[in-house]
Amino acid sequence: MPTNELLNIPAFDLKTIDGTVLKKDLAINFSSEQILLISGPNGSGKTTLIRHLLKELSQKKIAVEYVPQLANIQSSWPITIEDVLSLSLGEISQSEIKALGLIHPAHLSLLWNTASGGERKRTLLTRAILLKPKVLVLDEPFNHLDHESTSLISFCLGRLIREKVLSGLILVSHQCNHHAEAFKDLSVIECHL
């Protein structure tokens, strides 16, 4: 059962920067050990809602890590997976990476530009989790991933909530069926825009 309240936003109109109303009377009540699943068609305001939630969470001084969609797949630097992690984490612990199970320590020397889409997403997720946030916010983490990667990521996220490594998870996803199994015993709040 949910214990601590993370977000309690009374009914509000979700608007774009230019004032266009995307959704009327939207209320969000989100507590720890819960997953907030945001879905909706393209242009329905999922990313706008995420920005709104990030603002609310930062006002409440809750440690958040946000993994947005990639704007560029390639980097102009010859950067490795290990570099990506160490840029944010400083010294990286191989045992922590191994325990998380999203990337294999042997893949750390892989170049970012030659890594697969799944390896890149798992790297960014590993980076965000090892920064030890209270709430993790993921924008379309399963896009363009095969079933194996989707399943690996969703089971890992489910485990982190169960083990209380993460207090809450906010997820934008179209593929609800893919993670239904991984989140089946968890409290999932659906927010369809």
Partner 1 sequence: MMELLGLYQNLFPLLILSSILLGFVGFHLAPRAQGIKTLMLTQLSLFGVMIGFLIRDGLHSIGPFFYYLIPYMSGVLLALGFGQLIERQKKTRGEIFYLIFFLIAQAACQILQSLFPGLESHYSQIYQGDIVTISGLELGISTALMASAAVFYAFFHRLYLKRSFERELFGSESGVGKGHDHFEIFSVCLIVLSLSSIGTLYTMSFLLIPSLLISLQTQGLRQSLIMIAICTFISAPAGFSLSLAFDRLSTVPAMIFFLVFSCLLLPYLAKALKK
Contact present, 9 and 191 (Cβ < 8 Å): no
Q: Contact between 48 and partner 1 (CB under 8 A)? A: no
Three-state DSSP class for residue 184: coil
Q: Which stretch binds partner 1 (CB under 8 A): 18-26, 74-82, 163-171, 184-192?
A: 74-82
Contact present, 44 and 22 (Cβ < 8 Å): yes
Bridge partners (DSSP) listed for residue 15: 21
Q: Contact between 54 and partner 1 (CB under 8 A)? A: yes
Sign of CA dihedral 55, 59, 167, 12: negative
Could you give the CA distance from residue 166 to residue 51 in angstroms, rounded to a whole number? 20
Of the residues 87, 93, 132, 181, which one makes contact with partner 1 according to CB under 8 A:
87
Find the shortest distance in angstroms from Cβ 185 to partner 1: 32
Of the residues 32, 80, 126, 154, which one makes contact with partner 1 according to CB under 8 A:
80
Where do contacts with partner 1 occur on this chain (CB under 8 A)? Answer: 51, 54, 66, 68-72, 75-80, 82-84, 87-88, 109, 111, 124
